[in-house]
Amino acid sequence: MQETAVRFAICDDDKVYAEKMKALILQTFHLPQPVECVIYLNQEQILKCYREDKIDIIFMDIEFGDTIGFQVARRLSMQDSQLAVVYMTNYEHYITEAFVCRPLGFIRKSHAEDDLQIAGQEIRRFIGQKYSRFVFGGGAAVVEVPLYKVYAVEIYGHDMVILLENENIRVRDKLMRVEDELEAHDFVKISRGRMVHLKYVTAIEGKTVQLHENYEFAVSADKISMLKSRWLAYKMLH
């Protein structure tokens, strides 16, 4: 499986500063994964391309052209409930106001190099969690999958099926072997042979759980209450 690049976005209508910030980010972050950086000069570009460009973390200018970066972040959060944003500003008083979408940090443009070092620890922690990989299967027949891509896992006979957005991976494994570890990464058991990733749950109606537009599953009657409680707690933290 090809290594997925970590993709940073810089949202700033000042192209010269955006290029400077891009160079600083590429210089600062040496990660296990490849690092890429995309520049958006206006809100129309980022709103249109955010999901298609698979952005991980946004560096958002609070004074973003004719609008306010907070407003753009709110609109992006409707596309991605786990939006990760670092705010940039020339005006320090904005820092006390910048709590939209639980920012990972703040960059004062006049102190960008120093502030990026400070924010770097939280950025690396976020990336590490997002790209944590999990080994399914055993012996020589194993697959290693980034957990953030997994919608659900389910058992069919002696096989485990790992459900991703556009593909399924089948391995020989048992749910009981991975259940505790997956629960620690926000997976919830909804029936005897299936666990779902709370990251992708969009609705729970009756005894059915929906995971974005991709999947819909029945939930065991004795697990509905627990699933709702776990999902509510997850949403409050994300």
**Residue 238's pLDDT is what?**
66
Inform me whether the pLDDT recorded for 165 exceeds 90: no
The span from the CA of 209 to the CA of 190, in Å, is 9
Inform me whether the pLDDT recorded for 30 exceeds 70: yes
The span from the CA of 131 to the CA of 227, in Å, is 24
Residues 64 and 164 in one domain: no
What Rg do the C-alpha atoms of the chain give, in angstroms?
20
Which tens digits make up the pLDDT trace of 37-96?
A: 999 999 999 999 998 999 999 999 998 878 888 889 889 988 887 789 999 988 766 655
Q: Which of 84-88, 100-104, 111-115, 202-206 has the lowest mean pLDDT?
A: 100-104
What are residue 171's phi and psi, to 5 degrees? -135, 165
**With contact defined as beta carbons under 8 Å apart, do 174 and 182 qualify?**
no
CA angle, 232 then 145 then 76, to 5°: 45
Which tens digits make up the pLDDT trace of 174-193?
A: 999 999 999 988 999 999 99
Which positions ≥6 away from 39 have C-beta within 8 Å?
A: 9, 10, 12, 15, 18, 19, 22
Inform me whether the pLDDT recorded for 1 exceeds 50: no
Residues 82 and 160 in one domain: no
Residues 223 and 188 in one domain: yes
The span from the CA of 80 to the CA of 108, in Å, is 25
- Nearest to residue 152, comparing CAs of 191, 204, 206? 191
Whole-number average pLDDT of the chain: 89
CATH, residue 35: 3.40.50.2300
Residues 211 and 116 in one domain: no
Residues 23 and 92 in one domain: yes
- Mean pLDDT for 134-149 is 86
Which tens digits make up the pLDDT trace of 197-220?
A: 998 999 999 999 999 878 999 999
- Mean pLDDT for 131-142 is 84
Residues 19 and 126 in one domain: yes
Written as one string, the DSSP assignment of 205-224 is: ETTEEEETTTEEEE--GGGH
Integer distance in angstroms from the first to the last C-alpha of the chain? 28
How is residue 111 written in tokens? 């102190």
Residues 164 and 218 in one domain: yes
Residues 168 and 118 in one domain: no
Inform me whether the pLDDT recorded for 132 exceeds 90: no
Residues 158 and 126 in one domain: no
Q: Is residue 138 part of a domain?
A: no
Residues 220 and 169 in one domain: yes
What are residue 234's phi and psi, to 5 degrees? -65, -45
Q: Is residue 135 part of a domain?
A: no
Give residue 126's Cα distance to chain centre. 8
Q: Could you say which of 130, 165, 184 is where a domain stops?
A: 130
- Mean pLDDT for 19-23 is 96
Domain total of the chain: 2
Q: Is residue 137 part of a domain?
A: no
Whole-number percent of the chain with pLDDT over 70: 93
CATH, residue 196: 2.40.50.1020
Q: Which of 4-13, 14-23, 122-131, 189-198 has the lowest mean pLDDT?
A: 122-131
Q: Is residue 139 part of a domain?
A: no
Residues 164 and 49 in one domain: no
Higher pLDDT, 230 or 81: 230
**With contact defined as beta carbons under 8 Å apart, do 24 and 116 qualify?**
yes
Cα dihedral 79, 80, 81, 85 sign: negative
The one-character DSSP state at 193 is: T
What are residue 58's phi and psi, to 5 degrees? -105, 130
Domain span at 81: 6-130
Residues 14 and 123 in one domain: yes
